[in-house]
Chains A and B, each alone.
Chain A
Amino acid sequence: MSDQAQLLPGTLDLLILKAVSLGPLHGYGVLLRIAQITGQALLIEQGALYPALFRLVRQGWLQAEWGTSDNNRRAKFYELTTAGRKRFQEETESWNRLAVAMTTALAASAEQV
């Protein structure tokens, strides 16, 4: 547990958008994809995913459709809508700005001040 980081508030949404932007996924698939692309570094309780997914659907950034998974089971697949894609780009840019700023700030040393 100790090697897994807690999610910053608001980052789950962005992670979901990123995961889905790489191709349609069902809920469990989203979790696997996030685990994969973050290198298992982030802890997400499985159930906590769904309220976030539904919220994104309601906000119109994701759309869902029932289909069949690789395991040959019925599953609901999510993909980005046009609005969602735009939103994802904006969110990514703003995250990058924040990350750069944070990295710079944290790297500052006494001589630079």
Chain B
Amino acid sequence: MAINWFKYSAPTTFYGLAGKMIPWFAFSAAILFAIGLYIGFFVAPTDAQQGEFYRIMFIHVPASILSMFLYLIMAGYAALGLIFNTRLSAMMATAIAPTGALFALISLWTGALWGKPMWGTWWLWDARLTSELILLFLYLGFIALHASIDDPRRADRAAALLAIVGSVNVPIIYFSVKWWNTLHQGSTIKFSGTTMHIAMQQAMFTMLAACWLYAIAVVLARVRSIILERERNTTWIADLPEVKQ
């Protein structure tokens, strides 16, 4: 059976599809979180150098990875929206931004908490943490620009351009900060030994998967509200059960 992908690029059909998918993503996220936390706290052994504190990484690392990838995906949707003029692409980009920003925030917070027992300081101008902070600024800039423009079309397109410029800048920022960091201090967050214990790896991957599933669920939920808002004048919205009541 050939799936007509373009059918789902219309807000009308995507709304329904997203609605059906959300519960699946949400439940699997919850289950994987539970499993990941169990392995992370009860199965994985105490680290030789970092004691119990290393367990923060099971949330810190997935949050960092997600914040970075979500930015790229957001920029990707933004680019699609600019090039093909598809409404849904722009809506997806807008839906992703808050989730990405919150993951960046979690990454920064947990990074700081990890830094305290490790290096005795709440903040560390480590290349990755600093790049993460700048990434948060880029997210906030995207959200602020979008919110400042009244005309939805101009808002989408301007924010899209910003996202694309930002994504080009992210590697430049990362390398310049890395450079700067090696000049000044060279303190990085490292692990004892060369390989991670198998349970640690398992916990890490489970938590990473859990975060991804959570992110997808939340983004889909948010985009549904955006679709409702943007398409409020159409008849298909008027015919929806939740609107008819």
Q: Do A and B share a complex?
A: no
